[in-house]
Structure 1
């Protein structure tokens, strides 16, 4: 039986429901990163790529960063967590949900999001987390009163433990990404970005490459793990002129969505230890139905671990914004993926205004030091 797909109107309805429970996160700009994005890469940086020996692209890009790292629990997942739980209470009844509790699996951000929503609404929560999850994400989930049960790192291993928890407790599953209500909640990120962009450029037209015409966001790019955020944002912009792209790590095949689009079918498994730990899961079925629709979605680009680290360094040092590796994967694609950069140059000589979602900021100083230790030695 085919699942109902979200619509732009369902994103607006979700926003009205969750607005009392979430932060209206800021949209930031950066002249420094605009300048870096708008100069060609070096010939050396293209060595070993399909573009080696070719003239580097020279696009013009102005960024608008939607800072979900400032969201409650430090990630956009609070949006989907609150929306899914509020809808579940509407459908099943508060007494039944409170009696049984809810369960999910997550490497950390959805874990904390559901734990926060459950704590706020007085619902027991059981969270299955990989043993290798970031320590701060585990501690954050536990501090919100959820029972944490550990598992292996793959989605198959996580789901097996979820099934055990359900047998033991009768808890109701709240999926981390492959779910109508989760997608609608995450899509509210795009709704806010759309409105904030319009307000910003009306007040300061020079922030836009379209300063003389007051245009629209040309593109929005988000990370893709399970695909909840990207499919929600894609849904919101599906009736607008803004194009939506996704970005993934290429390490150990974590770019399953990009490869699936290339092959014409969804890939069902991912086993990668990319530093972008929030993006280690395969794209969900409902999410795939949205992202693979070329009338709604414009494509996915992959970046290396070194490119992710380079983008993270720029955000930390130049913008003074605290982000986790997963959050900067879209920025890395804009700065270093020559295919994306050539697309901008080819389609818009005057440039693009690009919305980039910083999806979260849940990492630690120790993790950052370890990440950059090779360059610090």
Structure 2
């Protein structure tokens, strides 16, 4: 990938994608003792960076290929980018999506005018079906990451960062198939090779890290992750070459850290992101990236197309991880006033009851006992410990959920 290819892509797509802001955050900078910036690719029209590469690749198509149409396989963001710009350009588009793709992404893709085919449980199965349809119907495959035209389009983010934060020392970016980090790294490293480029994956599916360890592209076993946008078992051949050449470090973060990252951005930065792009924040605020004190760090927020149901679950999980929501189980005497005594004690301890389940039917309960399942809002881990201590001192046996 030459710098000129990326510069040509920038001219080609200019005015057709959003030149997204990159703004500083004092709050996040204080968390690691440096300067923090966020690149808001979640503000693209389709909610993610993917439309940059999709648009650049389609603009490179000759007229005959445009008439035959394009096909893509995607869990959502690439699908929407292809569908949106194909409709603008008058190109017929077919998108193959895994059957478990969040409904919000399926609906948005259909709304942009594409034909949607749901196939398989994971991306790899959807891609296999896309290739079968392509062979049968003759469309051009717009790969979500393993294509030079797509990588060049994503690289336009790197050119923007060089202008928006010329003092940057570190760029942290999520990694799925590797398209975005390949483009950004290729653009930045060919102009400012001293800038550190850090890639972050979910520890459940670290395809790029395993490829680097093996020295070749490998297919890793399937796994579940809330970061479905980067749930890729095998990175691309093109992207692997770019990662090897330009990416300084590859790191992983846990599911709990990702969930907390989504919640942190929502609360502190007032921005909605999908779990895949919260990996960047998770890596920085949890200390996985060494040597950030005094450095200027750009975190790329790659997308914001999150299903509201998943968002609700992530918030709940993040609150528990952060100690602001606690699930407790305890036994009380099954007699008048027992619940009132318990709730009064919780009120004195400053805990708010979100949910209370009172159960007399457990097989291991004595006839004079009842089991109480509590969900509490608390102020943090220390407060949870105080609440548990108060309950224990009052004679309750407390189990944590």
Q: TM-score, normalised by structure 1?
A: 0.81
With 166-175 and 317-326 compared, the bigger mean Cα shift is at 166-175
Does the 8 A contact of 1:102 with 1:123 survive in 2? yes
Structure 2 equivalent of residue 283 of structure 1: 235
Cα pair 1:180 1:286 within 8 Å, conserved: yes
Unaligned runs of 5+ in 1: 1-5, 39-59, 199-215
Compared CA separation, residues 360 and 118, structure 1 to 2 (3 A): same
1:209-258 C-alpha deviation (Å, 9 max, x unpaired)? xxxxxxx311111110000000001100122121211000002xx11211
Please point out which of 28, 32, 49 is paired with 2:23.
28
2:342 counterpart residue number:
none
1:256-271 equivalence runs, <5 A: 256-271=207-222
Contact 2:262–2:314 (8 Å) recurs in 1: no
> Which structure has greater strand proportion?
2
CA contact (8 A) 1:105 1:176 kept: yes
Which structure's relative contact order is higher, taking Cα pairs within 8 Å and 6+ residues apart?
1
When you count helix as a share of all residues, which structure comes out higher?
Answer: 1
Which residue in the other structure is 1:82 paired with? Answer: 55
- 1:292-307 equivalences in 2 (<5 Å): 292-293=244-245, 296-307=246-257
Task: Structure 2: give runs of 5+ residues left out of the alignment.
Answer: 326-374, 376-401
Residue in 2 that maps onto 1:372: 315
Are the equivalent residues in 2 in contact too, given 1:231–1:291 (CA < 8 A)? yes
- Give the match for residue 329 of structure 1: 279
Residue from 255, 259, 265 that aligns with 1:315: 265
1:264-308 deviation per Cα after TM superposition (whole angstroms, max 9, x unaligned): 222234522211111111211000011012xx2201010000001
Residues 179-190 of structure 1 correspond to what in structure 2 (within 5 A)?
179-190=147-158
2:299 matched to which residue of 1?
Answer: 356
The answer (yes or no) to whether the contact 1:256–1:270 under 8 Å persists in 2 is no
Contact 1:217 1:354 in 2 (8 A): yes
For the 8 Å contact 1:255–1:302, the answer to whether it is kept is: yes
Residue of structure 1 in register with 2:42 after alignment = 69
| Deviation string, structure 1 residues 126-162 (Cα, Å, up to 9, x no partner) | 0000111111111110000000001223343122211
Instruction: Let me know the Cα RMSD of the aligned residues.
Output: 1.5
Q: Which deviates more from structure 2 when the two are superposed, residues 359-368 or residues 300-309?
A: 359-368
C-alpha contact 2:75 2:123 (8 A) present in aligned 1:
no
For 2:386, the equivalent position in structure 1 comes to none
| TM-score under structure 2 length normalisation | 0.76
CA distance in 1, matches of 2:200, 2:224: 17
* Larger Rg belongs to: 2
Q: Distance in 1 between the 2:159 and 2:302 partners?
A: 15
The Cα offsets for residues 292-337 of structure 1, whole Å up to 9 and x where unpaired, read as: 12xx220101000000111111100011011111111011111114
Map 1:56-205 → 2, pairs under 5 A? 60-88=33-61, 93-94=62-63, 96-198=64-166
Summarize the Cα distance change of 1:260–1:61 in structure 2 as closer, same or farther, 3 Å threshold. Answer: farther
